[in-house]
Amino acid sequence: MLKVSCNIKALFLFIAVFIFVGVFLNSSLSYAFITPRLTRNIPVGSFPFGVAFFPNGSYALVTNAGGDTVSVVDMATKGVVASIKVGAHPAGVAVAPSLAFAYVCNAASGNISLLNMATFTKALDINTGGSPVNIVFTPNSRLAFVANIRNNEVDVINTRQNAVIKRIGVGKKPQGIAMSPNGKIILVTNAGGSSVSVIDVSSLSVIRNIRTGKNPTSVAFSPSGSPAGYFYVASGKENRIYVYNAKNFGFIKKFKTLPDPSAVSLTPDGMMLFVVNYQGMAVSIYNAIHFNRIKTVNLPAGPMNVAVSPDGSAALVTVTSASSVALIRVKKTQAAYAQAAPVSSVVPGGAPYAQTAQAITSPAVPASLLPPSNYIPQPFGKVASVYTGKGPTAEAITPDGKYLYVINTQDSTLSVIDVAGDKVVKTIKVGKYPTAVSVSPDGHYCFVVNSSSDTVTIISTGNYY
């Protein structure tokens, strides 16, 4: 009888908690019960450090600080399909929302390696000086912001020019960096102090410094569809996570985690927070709204950074001692609630982007820029030089991977490249100063945005698809 009574009490307690959560989230949360678990380790290079997913989730890039390379991991096969030589001691890596290119921070050589995502090859190096360690892009891929830990600054790179256009002074040893979902605010953790610098993207200036826990190492915003507009800061020396309101920077809560939290990342629904604990040799996973711990995944020595896949089904953690990335699966049940309306996390202080910029690109990656999930460019590495027009700046590949369309800014042309044949098969005149190019999902049309003539050139791909 006592056992039955306890079971009944437990059932009522569960129902009460369930109702409370439903009321708290206004019965509009898209969320399912989750069970993260470690499923495999994927071998990469020596001393893996940074990790980032492609926006479509098909690949991940891993920087190997000990081997000066970047490993390209195919998420379908869970294997490395390319190894790209970059600068000395690569640290942070980020893929542009346009999916056309990625930047790698080379902390020891003081430069950024630009990677061509269509061919998985290094295109050039951008000099920053100091020790660049982490990087983020604006949603339209026009600007990149680099945390430069030695120079105590954030370097702003114009991705058209591939050059530093401004250096913004912040606190001591800036390390973690994050872009707000609306692209208007940058947060930078100053690991040498106890603060987070807030940078306004429109003015490229620091508008506020927020006091936080000691040795803040990493920061992450709630995604745009999250039920709460927060940002999360890992305090390395205090072994705590600090939570703030992303709209007014107000303090929400701080909670204890395992030793030495070095990196944080959230699932796309904003419900689950991954915290890498370097000295604790684990990843702590929390409910990002109520801050209770969901699970702890133990790892070999030296877990460093974490990235969550765009669909929220997996997380990759770089593990330095094992020269691998740990794959953590996030299993969701079929139980779910109605979709939540996006919660705005707009931060005052920045003017909105111009309408034209929003029209050209958006945070959502166009389907035409995403290679098929089974497409793997071959071979990897530089095998030929293909000469196009003057000032090639952006490219798009056909869905079958056979043709590459490259816009040439200086002579206002579009080059059509046969990928297998390594040659230009057609040159097409477009409008003045083309700045963006995409191919329709069916591959039948190519669209070129011409900035100086305020036009879009629409081209039938014909035989070149």
Could you report the per-residue pLDDT of 282-297, keeping only the tens digit for each?
Answer: 999 999 999 999 899 9
CB 191, CB 202: distance < 8 Å: no
* Region 256-265 average pLDDT: 96
Q: Confirm whether 36-332 and 388-465 share one CATH topology.
A: no
**Strands, E assignment, 271-339:** 272-277, 282-287, 293-298, 303-308, 314-319, 324-332
Residue 408's pLDDT is 86
Architecture of domain 36-332: 7 Propeller (2.130)
Nearest to 142 by CA among 83, 93, 172, 100: 100
List strand residue ranges (DSSP E) for 44-159, in order: 48-53, 59-64, 69-74, 79-85, 90-95, 101-106, 111-116, 121-127, 132-137, 143-148, 153-158
Asked whether the whole model's pTM tops 0.85, one would answer no
CA Rg, the chain, in Å?
Answer: 23
Is the bond preceding residue 379 a cis peptide, omega within 30 degrees? yes
Q: Can you tell me the mean pLDDT for 425-438?
A: 88
List residues bridging with 112 in a β-sheet.
Answer: 105, 126
What ranges do the domains of the chain cover? 36-332, 388-465
**Torsion-angle region of 77 (φ positive above 0: left; ψ -120 to 50: alpha; else: beta):** alpha
CA 276 to chain centre: 16
Residue 11 clears pLDDT 60, i.e. is over it: no
CA distance 279 to 264: 15
Residue 86 sits at φ, ψ, to 5 deg, of -125, -150
| Per-residue confidence (pLDDT) for residue 325, from 0 to 100 | 92
> What's the CATH code, domain 388-465?
2.40.10
378 DSSP 8-state letter: S
